Amino acid sequence: MKLLLTHIKELLQVRENCPPKLSGKEMKELPTLKNAWVFISHGIIEDYGTMDKMGPHQGFKTLDCSGKTVLPAWCDSHTHIVYAGNREQEFVDRINGLSYQEIAEKGGGIVNSAKKLQQTSEEDLYQQSATRLEEVMCLGTGAIEIKSGYGLTTNAELKMLRVAKKLSEEYPITIKTTFLGAHAIPTEYKGNKDGYLDLLCNEMLPKVAKENLAEYVDIFCEEGYFSVVDMERILSEGKKHKLIPKVHVNQFNSIGGIAAAVKHKALSVDHLEVLTDEDLEALKNTDTMPVALPSCSYFLSIPYTPGRKMIDAGLPLALATDYNPGSTPSGNMNFVIATACIKMRLTPEEAINAATINGAYAMGLSKTHGSITKGKVANLIITKEIPSYGYLPYAFGSDLIDTVIINGKEIS
Ligand code: NIG
Ligand code: FE
**pLDDT tens-digit readout, 379-401:** 999 999 999 999 999 999 999 99
Give residue 321 CA to ligand 2 midpoint distance, Å: 8
Tell me the best of 183, 273, 274 to mutate to test the pocket of ligand 1, counting ligand atoms within 8 Å of each CB and taking the most: 183
Tell me the best of 220, 301, 327, 330 to mutate to test the pocket of ligand 1, counting ligand atoms within 8 Å of each CB and taking the most: 327
Greatest Cα pair distance, the chain, in angstroms, is: 69
Evaluate: CB of 159 within 6 angstroms of ligand 1: no
Domain presence at residue 117: yes
Same domain as 230, residue 122: yes
Same domain as 60, residue 123: no
Evaluate: CB of 246 within 6 angstroms of ligand 1: no
- The domain tally of the chain equals 2
Share above pLDDT 70 across residues of the chain, in percent, rounded to a whole number: 100
Mean pLDDT of 50-55: 90
Atom of ligand 1 nearest to the CA of 322: 1
Evaluate: CB of 282 within 6 angstroms of ligand 1: no
Evaluate: CB of 325 within 6 angstroms of ligand 1: yes
**pTM of this structure:** 0.98
Same domain as 261, residue 319: yes
pLDDT at 105 over 90: no
Same domain as 144, residue 128: yes
Q: Which ligand lies nearest to the CA atom of residue 296 in the structure?
A: 1
Same domain as 382, residue 300: no
**pLDDT tens-digit readout, 333-381:** 999 999 999 999 999 999 999 999 999 999 999 999 999 999 999 999 9
Angle at 144 between CA 143 and CA 149, to 5 degrees: 165
CA–CA separation, 349 vs 345, rounded Å? 11
pLDDT at 201 over 80: yes
Mean pLDDT of 241-259: 98
Q: Which ligand lies nearest to the CA atom of residue 109 in the structure?
A: 1
**pLDDT tens-digit readout, 206-246:** 999 999 999 999 999 999 999 999 999 999 999 999 999 99
Same domain as 260, residue 134: yes
Evaluate: CB of 327 within 6 angstroms of ligand 1: yes
pLDDT at 57 over 90: no
Q: What is the DSSP string of 224-263?
A: TSB-HHHHHHHHHHHHHTTPEEEEEE-SS---SHHHHHHH
**What residue owns the CA closest to ligand 1's atom 5?**
327
Tell me the best of 110, 178, 218, 293 to mutate to test the pocket of ligand 1, counting ligand atoms within 8 Å of each CB and taking the most: 110
Mean pLDDT of the chain: 97
Same domain as 130, residue 30: no
pLDDT at 55 over 80: no
Q: At a CB cut-off of 8 Å and minimum separation 6, what does 136 contact?
A: 76, 79, 81, 144, 321, 323, 331, 332, 333
Q: Which residues have CB atoms below 5 A from the ion given as ligand 2?
A: 322
pLDDT at 38 over 80: yes
CA–CA separation, 100 vs 116, rounded Å? 19
Same domain as 381, residue 284: no
Same domain as 376, residue 339: no
**pLDDT tens-digit readout, 125-151:** 999 999 999 999 999 999 999 999 999
Mean pLDDT of 18-28: 98
Structural domain of 355? 75-361
**Where does the pLDDT of residue 188 fall: very low under 50, low under 70, confident under 90, or very high at 90 and above?**
very high
Better pLDDT: 59 or 401: 401
**What residue owns the CA closest to ligand 1's atom 1?**
322
pLDDT at 403 over 90: yes
Residue 138 pLDDT: 98
Q: How many helices (H) and strands (E) does the chain have?
A: 16, 16
Residue 58 pLDDT: 74
Looking from the CA of 207 toward its CB, the CA atoms found within 13 Å total: 15
pLDDT at 160 over 90: yes
Share above pLDDT 90 across residues of the chain, in percent, rounded to a whole number: 96
Q: Which ligand lies nearest to the CA atom of residue 224 in the structure?
A: 1
Same domain as 319, residue 179: yes
